[in-house]
């Protein structure tokens, strides 16, 4: 992966062996498995495309001022 081809470069893997003494092959296999799964997770973690807005949503105007909940059903506090 080069920086020009992929904007999301995967950071290098840091491994800390807490217990035992894995061989170089075992450590390499673990790094490959974890790296592949991380790359798969990063590839799947994309934001969804903006949903198409319905004609009602495009037509309806937003509130011009915050809703006054004290006004009740009549719409005024008078």
According to the model, what pLDDT value does residue 1 have? Answer: 47
Residue with tokens 């719409």: 75
If we measure between CA atoms, which residue out of 27, 10, 29, 9 comes closest to residue 18?
Answer: 27
**Separation CA 19–CA 28 (nearest Å):** 16
Domain boundaries, the chain: 1-62
Task: Tell me if the pTM is above 0.75.
Answer: no
N- to C-terminal Cα separation, the chain: 67
- What pLDDT digit, counting tens, does each position of 23-53 carry? 999 999 998 998 899 889 888 887 777 777 7
Residue with tokens 């509130």: 63
């Amino acid at each position: 992966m080069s920086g020009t081809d992929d904007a999301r470069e995967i950071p290098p893997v840091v491994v800390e062996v807490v217990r035992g003494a894995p061989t170089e092959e075992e450590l390499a296999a673990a790094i490959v498995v974890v790296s592949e799964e991380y790359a798969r997770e990063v590839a799947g973690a994309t934001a969804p495309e903006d949903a198409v807005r319905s004609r009602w949503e495009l037509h309806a105007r937003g509130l011009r001022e915050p809703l006054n909940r004290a006004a009740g059903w009549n719409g005024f506090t008078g």
